[in-house]
Structure 1
Amino acid sequence: MKSRTPSTAPAQVGYGVRALDLHAHLFEVTLTVAQPAADQVVSLPVWIPGSYLVREFAKHLQGLQARQGNKPVAISQLDKCSWQIHTQAGKALALKYQVYAFDSSVRTAWLDSQRGFFNGTSLCLRVHGQEDRPHQLTLTDDDLPKDWQAATALSAQRVTKRGFGDYLATNYDELVDSPVELGPFWRGEFVAAGIPHQFIVSGASASFDGARLLADTQAICEAEISFWHGSQPQQAPQRHYLFMLNAVQDGYGGLEHRNSTALICKRADLPRLGQAGTGEPSDGYTTLLGLISHEYFHTWNVKRLRPAEFVRYDYDQENYTELLWFFEGFTSYFDDLLLRRAKRIDTTHYLKLLAKTINQVLQTPGRQVQSVAQSSRDAWVKYYRQDENTANATVSYYTKGSLVALCLDLSLRHGGKTSLDAVMRALWQRCQGGPMTQDDLLAVLTDLSGQSYAAQLQQWVHGTADLPLKKLLKQHGVRYDEEPVPRPDQLGMKVHEQQGIRIKSVLRGSAAEQAGFAAGDEWLGVATGQGKSSQRWRLNKLDDLATYLGSDTHCRALIARDQRLLTLSLSLPDTVRNVKLGVTDPKQVDTWLDGKSPA
């Protein structure tokens, strides 16, 4: 599918954005509408595509004023995020307002003396009835430090070398799908399969190895373009691409956009000068590369090939789909797999990452309660609102969805006719890089394999039974072993360990639940032995338990709950195990991991 070239027609809707006050964290927005309707309605989105939670961005909008010519215009608020401007039709309208920006995530907006960032969904009011007209964004550098720059994937019209000036979007959707980074960031460039890419990093320390990040990202991008388009990379839908990374003390996440992505990582996870060529990348840097791989894969899978329910976003309310297991889960399957194909990690490292995902799912009791199709629909009220019972009642459409993709891939390969790689490319062609349904996936599976996969999808996607991982992996030369987990992990609890042990959650059916632990408990100590051999120990961290218990499997736990001291009888099981993967047939494993056609 070819990308559209932005219109050169004058923008009917224009946004001027400037940093009004860095210390008050306020952006000022001036919105001009050349031809407003009578009683023009405007609204601010309540959510941002790719992050399925109503976030109520309008709560940060303040000081809304309207004028036509030199006259102020009355405004009526219609609901939590919509306003009616009592305009005369056809007479130019100017709105001015401020937006408070102090959320450092990739989803909203941020402004301080060190950095600025915003998504259009947080700053840009939607002019009802004019969403499909060209939209102009003007970034001004008034009163900003001279070393600040601006970057966005929007089409530049008239901009300075530092990136300030006029940008054009074909419509409102493109405008709000193109975040903006401001500040004294690091910038690098590379070309992948003939497509120019930029990478900007904010918050990096002096030890940051930008050349290594660029080389690794280039290899990932080339692997993914090849995955989708093979020997015809010119068919890739993006004509340019921008990576925007914010390095912080502690954070992780990403949000995909049509021609860019916003990322956040720990500063310590960035590659460091002098570390290149010293072996496998650190776990933290591998995690960052996996995030880069994941968000870039979304360029195809969700930003273009997307749920039929997302043909046109409704920014005013939840947009439901049962297909996040495909769009997020399958992307999660391919993100690490493509790191292996890009030669950023080896087979051993890949299998370690895969085993980690398998263990995450198997240690989630909610997998037997909720299907990944239900998880997709419930994302709006469950995935982004996690609490102490989340693991007992839900399953992640990311992790289990990736294992559904694994099972499909290995099943298709075992049939000897096709692979999930071929299925993804055929879906792209069938749906012309646009909306799709589960029926489209089923049709492609049948076309390429010669058999129906309806029963498998019904069981794996719409059911709650465990997936046939062990059988399928063994069929493809992977050893599937199980080993006991460390004793603290046998308890079935998640804790917060700072100045003592605070229970965050207790897993269903676990030893901790059977003993009577509850979220919020403070675990003070344990008593072991009986009679004269009894001993009492203060616990500072969970790992201390193995030291104090030795070979014992039973103890008495002293906890504090709502200022009451309680004694719980705790027995440790010896049946909790982790999955560990290894290679038994290197040729079979390489055929799968390298994406070669099955024999």
Structure 2
Amino acid sequence: MKSRTSTNTTAPVHYQVELLDVQAHLFRVTLTVPAPTAQQTLRLPVWIPGSYLVREFAKHLQKLDARQGTKRVAVQQHDKATWEVACTPGTPLQVQYEVYAFDASVRTAWLDAQRGFFNGTSLCLQVPELADTPHTLAIAAAGAPKGWQVATGLEAVKCDKAGFGLYRADSYDTLVDCPVELGPFWSGSFVACGIPHRFVVAGAPPSFDGAQLLSDTQAICEAELRFWHGEAVADVKKVSASRKKDGGHSPIPFKNYVFMLAAVHDGYGGLEHKNSTALICARKDLPRLPRTTLAPTTHKQPEGYTTLLGLISHEYFHTWNVKRLRPAELARYDYTQENYTQLLWFFEGFTSYYDDLLLRRAARIDNATYLKLLSKTINQVNQTPGRLVQSVAQSSFDAWVKYYRQDENTANATVSYYTKGSLVGLCLDLTLRAEGKTSLDAVMRGLWARCAGGPMTEADLLTVLQEQTGRSYAKEIAHWVHNTKELPVAELLEQHGVQVNREPDQVAQQLGLRVKENGGLFVQQVLRGSVAEKAGFAAGDEWLAVQTEGQPWRMQALDDLTLYTGKAKKVSALVSRDKRLMTLTLAMPAPSTAVRLSIRDAAAANKWLNGA
């Protein structure tokens, strides 16, 4: 057993994290409890807030050993993530264990020779009865490759220039709500409305334009800070004066913020925290410096960069809407099991409504780009048969077993609380604006004030709507949220100067198929009621060929179908299922259409898009 050194043991709960072996992807954690109980319970969370799936983090914990002084003490495991340690009260307890870290997502932990990352929910055993007391975390520099740094939203107590050292949190919740990035990352900073922001990027290529990313992110942050707290926060002097007058406080609920972005070959995602966020994007989607060594070309940022900015906008908006305003059922997290709520349509859906809209208001995209993004969302919902099966409130409740566990039947049985929830937000906003008394912007700020930036219920939303409009919105919420009827999206957009155009659907949608084209044509999903379902296609089929007018043709992409079918009303499809060849009769579908939005009345549309 190696020596158990610790930077600090004065806090009721203290952790030391070491990079035990970057090649073996192992962190070593030493937990110190200065005053343990006789039968000290320790628990590791089974999920992480913001990602509604039981992920069983304990499966990566190994070699747990407990000692008081030099004496090893007995440890009894009670369930998959709970241990009980037989202690002598009054004698400090040290528990040491290893955590295997090889999950590149934003939800768990990662460690190799190029980068380290962890959430406290993956590494830090909870001491339940001390959960609301101060916690400290020491991140050891020993074992870290040369040139590595640390970035985290935790409060630094005593750290070196690279960020290794001692950090403090006021509770276990705060500790595990601050992920930690380690490595030789790029780092930049800016100030938005008087608040320092840091942006770190791991894995960026030489073409990465950090200045562009900082400029765009600053504009997004300032737009969202003004959204929640009004134009007053744009005056840095007023914010500073407010802090001095009110004991260091300001309307803004955080003192600093950290963006942590991992750029990888292929990936996308984010997870929100109270004063930070962890993000993943594809390297090709980062903003790029103008070319200097290749032949001159028109400099244009990747289309995926707009998607990345939307992700940044989404996670930053969560700083208010889900991390502070949050479902009353999640007022206190229970890390041992699922925490159910029917309100994810509000917290994720309304955040999804505002993420791209605030890009538009921050002047990062134009009207045409915004309407293109909104068209995509509308079509995604319209092309999901499950919207007629499951309400968006039920989708929220079922997230633990359906949204995060998608399969070949997901599109037929469920609807996304992200996409349909965002359209509920759109419908509510446009309805409020049409009536002329308020807007969803004002309602969100009203909820923030009513709930004091804390837990809320659907009843709180209805109350604020009643207060600001003078009438009940219970009927609309029941119809749009707790029912499976269609939303009045088109009618409301038309009222606000947006033209709802129709254009031919993609081949996949007309057939009712979701496929993967990778050296062949593989069926992943068959949509309910589609011509593909009626023909007998099933998930897992490989579509090999199509025969029309007696001539067989090899199929390698879905668009090949339009090339080979001509005016045929029926074709024979040759598929391979479980290595057996089958011939299916496919009736060619009637043409269907998708939505494409455009501006009809610029003055009316801009009033909404500008947030006037």
Question: Residue in 1 aligned with 2:391?
Answer: 371
Residue 513 (structure 2) pairs with residue 493 (structure 1): yes
Counterparts of residues 37-436 of structure 1 (less than 5 Å): 37-233=37-233, 234=239, 235-274=251-290, 281-436=301-456
**1:232 match: secondary structure:** helix
| Inter-partner Cα distance in structure 2 for 1:272 and 1:381 | 40
Matched to 1:570, the amino acid is: L
Contact 2:134-2:169 at 8 Å conserved across structures: yes
Q: Judging changes above 3 Å, is the alpha-carbon distance between structure 1 residues 310 and 327 closer, same or farther for their aligned structure 2 residues?
A: same
**2:430 match: secondary structure:** helix
Deviation of 1:489 (Å)? 3.4
| Inter-partner Cα distance in structure 2 for 1:591 and 1:280 | 29
Residue 507 (structure 2) pairs with residue 451 (structure 1): no
The correspondence for 1:568, drawn from 576, 581, 584, is 584
| Inter-partner Cα distance in structure 2 for 1:186 and 1:34 | 38
| Inter-partner Cα distance in structure 2 for 1:208 and 1:348 | 26
Residue 596 (structure 2) pairs with residue 580 (structure 1): yes
Matched to 2:399, the amino acid is: A
Contact 2:131-2:173 at 8 Å conserved across structures: yes
Question: Residue in 2 aligned with 1:462?
Answer: 482
For the aligned residue pairs, the C-alpha RMSD in angstroms reads 1.5
**1:98 match: secondary structure:** strand
Deviation of 1:278 (Å)? 6.5
Which ranges in structure 1 are unaligned for 5 or more consecutive residues? 1-7
**2:540 match: secondary structure:** coil
Q: Judging changes above 3 Å, is the alpha-carbon distance between structure 1 residues 38 and 47 closer, same or farther for their aligned structure 2 residues?
A: same
Deviation of 1:562 (Å)? 1.4
Please list the CA deviations of residues 462-506 of structure 1 after superposition, one character each: whole Å capped at 9, or x if unmatched.
000010011101011110111221334311111111121111010
Matched to 2:383, the amino acid is: Q
**2:571 match: secondary structure:** strand
Using the size of structure 2 for normalisation, the TM-score is 0.94
Moved more, 235-244 or 277-286: 277-286
Contact 1:484-1:574 at 8 Å conserved across structures: no
Please list the CA deviations of residues 85-136 of structure 1 after superposition, one character each: whole Å capped at 9, or x if unmatched.
0011221100000000000000000001110000000000001200011100
| Inter-partner Cα distance in structure 2 for 1:262 and 1:546 | 43
Matched to 2:381, the amino acid is: V
Residue 611 (structure 2) pairs with residue 595 (structure 1): yes
| Inter-partner Cα distance in structure 2 for 1:279 and 1:376 | 42
Please list the CA deviations of residues 430-472 of structure 1 after superposition, one character each: whole Å capped at 9, or x if unmatched.
0000010000000111111111110000010000001001110
| Inter-partner Cα distance in structure 1 for 2:415 and 2:85 | 45
Q: Judging changes above 3 Å, is the alpha-carbon distance between structure 1 residues 197 and 42 closer, same or farther for their aligned structure 2 residues?
A: same
| Inter-partner Cα distance in structure 1 for 2:309 and 2:271 | 14
Question: Residue in 2 aligned with 1:5?
Answer: none
Please list the CA deviations of residues 177-224 of structure 1 after superposition, one character each: whole Å capped at 9, or x if unmatched.
000001000000000000000000000000000000000000000000
Contact 2:38-2:87 at 8 Å conserved across structures: yes
Q: Judging changes above 3 Å, is the alpha-carbon distance between structure 1 residues 542 and 123 closer, same or farther for their aligned structure 2 residues?
A: same
Matched to 1:339, the amino acid is: L
Counterparts of residues 436-447 of structure 1 (less than 5 Å): 436-447=456-467
Q: Judging changes above 3 Å, is the alpha-carbon distance between structure 1 residues 179 and 271 closer, same or farther for their aligned structure 2 residues?
A: same
Deviation of 1:535 (Å)? 1.1
| Inter-partner Cα distance in structure 1 for 2:440 and 2:10 | 45
| Inter-partner Cα distance in structure 1 for 2:385 and 2:229 | 39
Contact 1:30-1:95 at 8 Å conserved across structures: yes
Deviation of 1:411 (Å)? 0.3
| Inter-partner Cα distance in structure 1 for 2:34 and 2:215 | 45
Percent sequence identity over matched residues? Answer: 64
Matched to 1:152, the amino acid is: T
Deviation of 1:229 (Å)? 0.6
| Inter-partner Cα distance in structure 2 for 1:275 and 1:505 | 41
Contact 1:9-1:134 at 8 Å conserved across structures: no
Please list the CA deviations of residues 218-269 of structure 1 after superposition, one character each: whole Å capped at 9, or x if unmatched.
0000000000011232411111000000000010000000100000000100
Which ranges in structure 2 are unaligned for 5 or more consecutive residues? 1-7, 234-238, 240-250
Residue 560 (structure 2) pairs with residue 544 (structure 1): yes
Deviation of 1:142 (Å)? 0.7
Using the size of structure 1 for normalisation, the TM-score is 0.96
Deviation of 1:280 (Å)? 7.1
| Inter-partner Cα distance in structure 1 for 2:285 and 2:403 | 26
Matched to 1:289, the amino acid is: L
**2:130 match: secondary structure:** coil
**1:254 match: secondary structure:** strand
**1:121 match: secondary structure:** helix
| Inter-partner Cα distance in structure 2 for 1:144 and 1:236 | 35
Contact 2:18-2:143 at 8 Å conserved across structures: no
Matched to 2:403, the amino acid is: Y
**1:403 match: secondary structure:** helix
| Inter-partner Cα distance in structure 2 for 1:535 and 1:523 | 16
* Matched length: 585
Question: Residue in 2 aligned with 1:35?
Answer: 35
Contact 1:367-1:394 at 8 Å conserved across structures: yes
**2:323 match: secondary structure:** coil
**2:573 match: secondary structure:** strand
Deviation of 1:275 (Å)? 7.6
Matched to 2:551, the amino acid is: Q
